[in-house]
Amino acid sequence: MAEFLFEIGFEEMPAPWLSGLADQLKSRFTMLVSDEQIAPSDARVFWTSRRLVLAAGVKPRQDDRAVVEWGPAAKIARDAEGKWTKAAEGFARKQGVSLDQLSIAAKAEGSAEQYLSATRQIPGRPTGAVLVGLLPQILRGFNFARRMNWDAWLDDGRGAFEFGRPIQWIVALLDGDVLPLTIFDAVAGEKGAPRVVSGRRSMGNRFYPRGAPDRGFEVRSLGELQKGLAARFVILDPGERTGRIKSQCEAAGGDVSGEAAHLVHEWADLVEYPTVVVGSIPKEFGDLPDEVLETVLAHHQKAVTLPRGPDGSPRFAAISGGDETAAVNAARGQERVVIARLKDARFFYNEDRKRTIESRVDDLATVTFHKGLGTYKQKAERISLLATDLAGHLGLSPEATTMAGRAALFAKADLVTLMVREFPELQGVMGGLYAQATESAEVASAIRWHYHPVAIEEDAAPAGKLSGAACDAFSLVGLVDKLDSLIGYLGIGVTPSGSSDPYGLRRAGQGVIRILLDFWKAKAPNLDELVRDAHRLYGPALSKSTEDLQAALHAFLIDRLRGVLSARNAGSADEIEAVLSAKVDPLADVRATANRLRELGTVRSEQREVFAALAESFKRAKNIVGDTPAGSVDVAAFAENAERSLHAALVKAEATPSSAPAVRLKAVAGLRDVVDDFFKTTMVMVEDQRLKTNRLALLSRLLSLVYEVADLSRLASPAGENARPS
């Protein structure tokens, strides 16, 4: 085995791209060499902000290959005496083989048709020559989120060569021998002078070790590269960098789970030699709410919040690419930047608190919600009315109703505070904090959380943070706000398409589902009524009719419900479809829907084979019944025993409570044999109208038996799609 080593050195690549680029490098290499008979093995990739490295084992030489070329049919290739014809000679000449290398064979094994063929032996080329041809294709093969023109040129027939950032050096070696590759300047759309020429020379850290006259060093193998980099303040392995950061962070008392874990990974790709520095913030800023501190630290300085110091002063950890000496300056510099921002924040916080949240609602008239949908003041007034009405419909107490109405009215008021203008990610949070001055704790927390839930997991915020009246107020405001937005956008024809969802409608829809599933305590709200009320409040701004809008919202939310159930593994895909296709609106009570799904999963898992058979029978029944309106079954019209047995079993099953899905499902499972028997012995679509009508009615009743739980025909069955009408 020979070692192929490829390092692309570049100016700092965006950190979030790096691991993806390394994946691309590996799969591109693997794909390109897969047909080259060099048996690539153990391909590994590494990266830092300034380099991508690929190493793999390859055979030093391609295997020799035999290539079979096909010529004319055998009967043209040989004459009656079995000698090669002119046509065969011509073919041999064209393929560059002698006549004794020709043979007659079938193209496909067992085929009677015989053809002339020539087998050419292709000697394997040295792997180096093969790789040299592939290197430009590897370089060209990267997909960048954004690529740049850097006046570069590749001599591969395609010319201008864009990349993510300018390339500075290339190491391309096969067992220590240089594989030539040159990137040229592009000058006025033509090839210019060589710019980057591959070699053995890699580069160490930009600044360390101190005083080194030359940052470059020569390597012949991955081992030498790793050793050389380790001596030059570059940790090549991303896992090693992350590990170093984590342990340093933990040594400083930091918790590197959750959001911090994400930051730590980003840190590891920002610098080649990471060192965690700890900063301390003067105690006077300790009065700022934790949310504000964390936002300034995490979102604006990419820093991790640490436990406060013994005197209560906030602390944080940040990343530095410098050595231990530089780290001291880095910590001071970071502190200075953080403090400057916190000073701003403190000024905003103090200014904002000079006014009540209530007094800001009028200012919302200056903030556009959406140009077709009016201002945030209008939205605030609308959702306040909707929340109050809904609370009334649900029969909540007057106190709870007032609470929801107030929280909804003030929910958006922090959009006109200095703090939220400066730190938009604090929307909701600041409103909640500011509301505490004049409003009840329930109203304040409903404002605080009303943009949530944003994550799909059952235990994601605000799970566990709200209880009792506070949870009720949050549920109402969160639900009404999201529905109001959805109704507005859908009403003016804005719907998400593909990956484009600029107004976050999918997330809003998912939030609606989550509120109803995880937080809702009152009886299920009537969504159609809500659409009607919201439509009336929006007025002529919405171009869709109320009915169209109800249908559009319904379809949209069903999709989101499917998404939530599936993301949470609440059931298999076919079970989810079965439950969503039941003859009961899945949105009428999403918790009941989730419950039906759970029961279906449980009952089915106990009798898989039975449900597979039932799925098939139900498909069959559905196909036969089609759109025929269900008639009533006439016991006197039965001609077969199987009909009678099915009917008797049905009547028994129908006596089980339809409100207990598990019981009903088990009852249906018990019908399996009589149903099978019915289909085996009884023809439904017979000439005799009376028999036919009666049998159709019987099948309709079978279908209706569990239609309120699930449409069993949607479940996967062995015969699957092949079920055919009889």
**541 binds other proteins per the rule CB under 8 A:** no
Query: For other proteins, which stretch binds (CB under 8 A), given 127-135, 239-247, 270-278, 355-363?
Result: 270-278
Angle between helices 238-251 and 259-270 (to 10 degrees): 120
Quick one: 366 or 605, whose CB is closer to other proteins? 366
**308 binds other proteins per the rule CB under 8 A:** no
Query: For other proteins, which stretch binds (CB under 8 A), given 144-152, 244-252, 599-607, 653-661?
Result: 144-152
Size of the site for other proteins (CB under 8 A): 49
Least separation in angstroms between CB 207 and other proteins: 4
Quick one: 242 or 700, whose CB is closer to other proteins? 242
**189 binds other proteins per the rule CB under 8 A:** yes
Quick one: 13 or 33, whose CB is closer to other proteins? 13
**Is residue 166 reached through a cis peptide bond, with omega within 30 degrees of 0 on the bond before it?**
no
Residue at 63: amino acid letter: D
Angle between helices 527-538 and 546-567 (to 10 degrees): 130
Quick one: 318 or 408, whose CB is closer to other proteins? 318
Distances (CA, A) of 520 to 72, 403, 508, 698: 77, 16, 16, 40
Among 8, 56, 264, 270, binds other proteins (CB under 8 A): 270
CB hemisphere CA count around 347 (13 angstroms): 7
Least separation in angstroms between CB 210 and other proteins: 5
For residue 205, with 0-12 CB atoms within 10 Å meaning exposed, 13-18 middle and 19 or more buried, which class applies?
buried
* Interaction mask 386-425, other proteins, x per CB under 8 A: ----------------------------------------
Among 240, 259, 344, 708, binds other proteins (CB under 8 A): 344
Least separation in angstroms between CB 447 and other proteins: 24
**724 binds other proteins per the rule CB under 8 A:** no
Give alpha helix (H) positions in 353-452: 376-393, 398-410, 418-422, 429-435, 441-449
Distance CA 23, CA 28 (A): 8
Distance CA 138, CA 54 (A): 11
**206 binds other proteins per the rule CB under 8 A:** yes
Between vectors from CA 301 to CA 296 and to CA 305, what angle results, nearest 5°? Answer: 65
Buried-state track 220-258, b at ≥16 Cβ within 10 A, e below 16: bebebbbebbeebbbbbbbeebbebbbebbeebebebee
Query: For other proteins, which stretch binds (CB under 8 A), given 133-141, 330-338, 486-494, 509-517?
Result: 330-338
Dihedral in degrees, nearest 10, Cα atoms 438, 441, 442, 445: 100
**174 binds other proteins per the rule CB under 8 A:** no
Least separation in angstroms between CB 327 and other proteins: 8
The residue behind tokens 């008979």 is 37
Which long-range contacts link 560-564 to residues 24+ away (Cβ below 8 Å)? 560/506, 560/509, 560/510, 560/512, 560/513, 561/513, 561/586, 561/587, 561/590, 561/593, 563/456, 563/506, 563/510, 564/456, 564/510, 564/513, 564/514, 564/517
Least separation in angstroms between CB 449 and other proteins: 27
**231 binds other proteins per the rule CB under 8 A:** no
Among 104, 230, 326, 456, binds other proteins (CB under 8 A): 326
**665 binds other proteins per the rule CB under 8 A:** no
Least separation in angstroms between CB 340 and other proteins: 5
**321 binds other proteins per the rule CB under 8 A:** yes
Among 94, 107, 336, 591, binds other proteins (CB under 8 A): 336
Buried-state track 432-454, b at ≥16 Cβ within 10 A, e below 16: bbbbeeebbebbbbbbbbbbbbe
Quick one: 8 or 624, whose CB is closer to other proteins? 8
Among 32, 318, 419, 669, binds other proteins (CB under 8 A): 318
Quick one: 14 or 57, whose CB is closer to other proteins? 14
Quick one: 288 or 337, whose CB is closer to other proteins? 337
Among 371, 608, 680, 724, binds other proteins (CB under 8 A): 371
Q: Taking CB under 8 A as the criterion, which residues in 10-39 touch other proteins? A: 11-12, 14-16
Least separation in angstroms between CB 325 and other proteins: 6
Distances (CA, A) of 147 to 13, 17, 115, 164: 11, 12, 51, 5
Residues near other proteins (CB under 8 A) = 11-12, 14-16, 146, 148-151, 165-166, 168, 186-189, 195, 206-208, 210, 270-271, 277, 301, 318, 320-323, 325-327, 329-330, 332-334, 336-340, 343-344, 347, 368, 371
